[in-house]
Structure 1
Amino acid sequence: MSVQLFEPDHEGEVHPLTFAALTVVLLAAAITQVSVVARVPLPGGHPDLVLLLLATAALLEGPIAGALLGFVVGLFGDLLSTHVLGRSALVCCLLGYLVGLLADATERSVAIALVVVSGAVAGGTLANVAVAGLLSDGAAGTPSQAFLRAVVAALYAALLTPFLFPAMAAGVRRTRRARGARRP
């Protein structure tokens, strides 16, 4: 007997209520990342809540919603920072789309979802550094520093995903039920 953990959006349709709820969660994560998480002294670095929650949302909603959510939260992150406008929007948009493509492959396994989210956080961290280097943004650092940041972010993602993924999946299911209840 197979238990379905979540249902990715197979229609490719972006549902307004679910999109709005996920947008609020991601924007709150961006604010929390800048104002709280970045100030807490943690061993090795900091988790990247935005990339973690974006990858989770993309797995739950698919590539189109993932790309749209990535663009919105990335642009918001760009506005909160001092780096080149559009850098985070580009990385988050691509990350949301690519992770969303894997939604069908991960719908029945928590382990695969954990690996995908952790890998996406590491990839997003490295992509941010690569784009910063291409734009001569000055935030790139050395390759070994970038790799260490990516590994630490992936480890934190692996620790947080078992808690955040089910919570987001339950929230998405709830918005889908609320959306279904209002339809005639």
Structure 2
Amino acid sequence: MSVQLWDPDSDVEVHAPTFAALVVVLLAAVIGQVSVVARLPLPGGHPDLVLLLLAAAALVEGPVVGALLGFTAGLFGDLLSTHVLGRSALVLCLVGYLVGLVAEATERSVLVALAAISGAVAAGSLGNVLVAVLLGDGAPTEAGPVLLRALTAALYAALLTPFLFPAVVAGVRRTRRVRRR
């Protein structure tokens, strides 16, 4: 049994206005995450809007666009932070690609989208810590607080997904409809 993650013969269409709109939304989410959301005194941690919106966009647009969006948002986030350049870009690129692989399954069930986005947020949170540890970037090494933060972020994602995922879908449809006129 072989698993093919990407078909090089398939035509991957990147709709430029949609891609540009999603990049703007993700860059605004990075700024909002750093300046507002990270400072909110919420129980257990805070939601990760960047991972949530990236996962939602990857579910709508597929793995290649998800990876490109993740890399772009991650690199922008890296430029705003003090950690090693490329750490967030790597993690978000992988998350965007992997979530995009289940894009077709979300057309059949809303629960798949909810699980995929929540799982992506948890995996992205853990991935950031793992890459930081591998790079010796001063990440916490105790598993308990790291897992608690990832689970809290996933719970917040599950609570926010019913509101943000339909907005992303509607925005993508709108940018595609504007092109046809």
Q: For the superposition of Structure 1 and Structure 2, which TM-score range results when normalised by the shorter chain?
A: over 0.9
TM-score after normalising by structure 2: 0.93
Runs (5+) with no aligned partner, structure 1: 1-9
Give the equivalent residue in structure 2 for 1:26.
26
CA RMSD in angstroms comes to 1.0
SS of 2:179's equivalent in the other structure is: helix
Letter in 2 for 1:88: S
TM-score normalised by L of structure 1? 0.91
Aligned length: 172
Q: What is the letter of the counterpart of residue 30 of structure 1?
A: V
Structure 2 counterparts to residues 29-68 of structure 1, below 5 A: 29-68=29-68
Q: In structure 1, how many angstroms separate the alpha carbons of the residues matched to 2:75 and 2:69?
A: 10
Task: Return structure 1 stretches of 4+ with deviation > 4 angstroms.
Answer: none
Q: Distance in 2 between matches of 1:137 and 1:118?
A: 26
> How much does 1:12 deviate?
2.3
Q: Secondary structure at the match of 2:113?
A: helix
Q: What is the CA-CA distance between 1:139 and the residue it aligns to?
A: 2.0
Distance 1:108 1:20 in 2: 27
Q: Which runs of 5+ in 2 are unaligned?
A: 1-9
In the TM superposition, residue 146 of structure 1 has moved relative to its aligned partner by 1.1
Q: Which residues of 2 match residues 116-127 of structure 1 at below 5 A? A: 116-127=116-127
Distance 2:14 2:140 in 1: 34
Question: Residue deviations 1:99-156, cap 9 Å, x none?
Answer: 0011001112111100000000000000000000000100234111111111000000
2:88 is the counterpart of 1:88: yes
Match of 2:69 in 1: 69
Task: Indicate the residue corresponding to 1:147 in structure 2.
Answer: 147
Q: Which amino acid aligns with 2:148?
A: L
2:5 is matched with: none
What amino acid does structure 1 have at the position aligned with 2:92? C
